[in-house]
A and B are shown apart, each in its own frame.
Chain A
Amino acid sequence: MAPRDEERFRRLVDEHASAVGDYLRRRLYPVSPADLDDLVEETLLVVWRRLDDVPVDAERPWMIGVARNVLRNARRSSGRRRALQASLRPAPDDPPAEERVVADVALAQALASLSDDDREIVTLNAWDGYEARDLALHLGITANAAAVRLSRARGRLRAALAVGEDDPKETGTS
């Protein structure tokens, strides 16, 4: 690799690696720091190997897309060994009881009731700061389509919340 490649890679890490780590942590929560570091490293390894493919105008969405694939691989391949040891050990990082107590249970349940795609688009927007253009790059659709899908997904989230809460503000009714 040329020095400028390494320089670009280091800049990508400086500007986007934190967002990659946050993306992975949000989708794997709770996750141990060591495992999170592993997944970030896997993601950055792919970025490094495919540095020439990273679009200059969409670096972060591209890197988050890699993280998404890494996450899928990790989940798929870890299942077997987890099953082997299911009788032996618990989940390593159960959230503390206090976190459960203060959690927005209704929202968590409503999010869980969404499809994977809806949940992804809603959380990318709310947590990762993705606007329609970023969502479009991430999902491989047009910006208009992304905006429509985001709107519909949020509508379904509001509806799911309303089922549990019957809150007129959330349902948009009066």
Chain B
Amino acid sequence: MDDLDRRLRAADPVGGRPYAVPVGLVARVVAERRPTRVVRPFAWRVAAAAAASVAVTVGAVSALGQVAPAFAAVEVAAAVPSPPTAGPAAFGAMEAAALPSVGAPPRLRLAPGSVAPGSVEVTRLSHPADLPAEARRLARALKVTGPTTRVGAAPASWQVGRPPGATVVVVGGAVPQWSYSSSSPSIAPATQSAGPVRDPAERAHLRARAVHLLSRLGLDLTLGRATYVDAIMDGASPSDVYREITATFVVTHAGLATDQRLVIGVDARGRLVFAAGPDVTAARDVPYALETPATALDSLRGGAGPSGPGAPASTRPVVVRATISLRAFVVRGGATWWLPVFTFTARSGAHWQVLARASGKVTIAPGATGLDARGVVVP
């Protein structure tokens, strides 16, 4: 064995922890003989598990004023990913931000320096207390039958039903998620083509289906804008194709977009193939004092990177859009809140998020991860 072999073996991701076949797998396989035609929840479960698994410790946040009882000396966890583009450090080079002026700016489109709402309603989210019971409740609503089994430990995940039959999965964590998959084949079919759903009636029908589904599940969530995808996929045989229409809705609250999504997919016959979304409801609204977008921009500039006149103008990002939305954070004690964040988008498409906190109302402890000391959401 030479040095290269030693390095390769040291880099082996398995690293002395060989895979162990789960108990019951062989029995399931031996009993499993029938291919069907709808989508397996492999990728879907990846995403659902992700939502609850990203409890990124942020640090201590203390809040005073109107929301002091909820936020005093809290530890926060971001429940959603940060923007995938450049981080706040790059923003430190910005000298001046320019926004197009608009006559009557929409509520969610704010120019730094313009008059922003003085406060918004922030919301505490209620979680299901008993995940297996919640999984069974949702399964009953969706007419899914079968055993309730624990399918994940961190975060705790429970499943009702068993593939290839329909299943309901509830995943715990900062923002619990639920998902439904209809009976499925062994391997998800490959997508042959995909495009937008152009028929307004079809889009309206999907929205109505989604609203009805939420009602059926007893989840009090409001749906905002949606993306609709019409996909043709491989079917069970080479001469067969399978159509699936998917709608992804932004969950809104108090008129603001949140970081949560509801997804539903139906097949060509209108049967529900899969669905998923957050398993939370708004439990308590509290007024929350907002800083202005301009102040938030200052917090992006301050403290990181070469801010000020030293930065060449040509390298300074020009902000072309500022939006406000609600993002889930977990406070000390475990409660999850939707708090407002500003998202600033540069002409290049890069964007940054910062907690829209009134100056002096919220402080963040040093050493926090997920948010920096200025309240900037760290990628």
Interface residues of A (CB under 8 A from B): 1, 6, 9-10, 13, 17-22, 24-26, 29-30, 32-42, 44-46, 48-49, 70, 73-74, 76-82, 84-86, 88-93, 103-104, 107-108, 111, 122-123, 126-127, 154, 157-158, 161, 169-170
Question: Looking across the interface, which residue of chain A has its beta carbon closest to that of B13?
Answer: A29
A22-B19, A48-B29 are known contacts. Are A73 and B54 too (CB-CB below 8 A)?
A: no
Bound CA span A17–B9, Å = 20
In the complex, chain B residues whose CB is within 8 Å of the CB of A34: 45, 49, 151-152, 157
Bound CA span A1–B31, Å = 10
Bound CA span A76–B332, Å = 40
Question: Looking across the interface, which residue of chain B has its beta carbon closest to that of A82?
Answer: B43
**Which among A44, A108, A126, A161 is the interface contact of B29 at CB below 8 angstroms?**
A44
In the complex, chain B residues whose CB is within 8 Å of the CB of A48: 29-30, 32
Bound CA span A29–B47, Å = 16
A89-B54, A170-B3 are known contacts. Are A35 and B259 too (CB-CB below 8 A)?
A: no
A89 pairs with B12, CB closer than 8 A = no
Bound CA span A6–B14, Å = 29
Question: What are 23 A-B residue pairs whose CB atoms fall within 8 Å in the complex?
Answer: A1-B30, A9-B29, A21-B20, A22-B14, A26-B12, A33-B152, A34-B152, A35-B46, A41-B29, A41-B186, A45-B29, A74-B188, A77-B42, A78-B42, A89-B54, A90-B80, A91-B50, A92-B47, A92-B50, A93-B53, A107-B8, A126-B5, A127-B8
Q: Is B141 an interface residue (CB 8 A)?
A: no
B7 pairs with A107, CB closer than 8 A = yes
A92 pairs with B46, CB closer than 8 A = yes
Chain B interface residue bracket vs A: 35 or more
**Which among A32, A80, A122 is the interface contact of B46 at CB below 8 angstroms?**
A32
In the complex, chain B residues whose CB is within 8 Å of the CB of A46: 186
In the complex, chain A residues whose CB is within 8 Å of the CB of B26: 9-10, 13, 44
Q: Top 4 closest A-B pairs, CB basis?
A: A21-B19, A78-B43, A90-B81, A92-B50
Q: Write the nearest CB–CB distance from A79 to chain B, whole angstroms.
A: 8
Interface residues of B (CB under 8 A from A): 3-5, 7-14, 18-22, 25-26, 28-30, 32-33, 40, 42-47, 49-51, 53-54, 80-81, 84, 151-152, 157, 186-191, 194, 227, 229, 231, 233, 246, 248, 259-261, 263
B11 pairs with A74, CB closer than 8 A = no
Q: Write the nearest CB–CB distance from A87 to chain B, whole angstroms.
A: 8
A82-B46, A107-B8, A170-B3 are known contacts. Are A9 and B30 too (CB-CB below 8 A)?
A: yes
B49 pairs with A32, CB closer than 8 A = yes
A25-B13, A35-B45, A170-B3 are known contacts. Are A40 and B19 too (CB-CB below 8 A)?
A: yes
Bound CA span A90–B259, Å = 12
**Which among B21, B81, B151, B231 is the interface contact of A21 at CB below 8 angstroms?**
B21
A157 pairs with B51, CB closer than 8 A = no
A34-B45, A170-B4 are known contacts. Are A80 and B261 too (CB-CB below 8 A)?
A: no
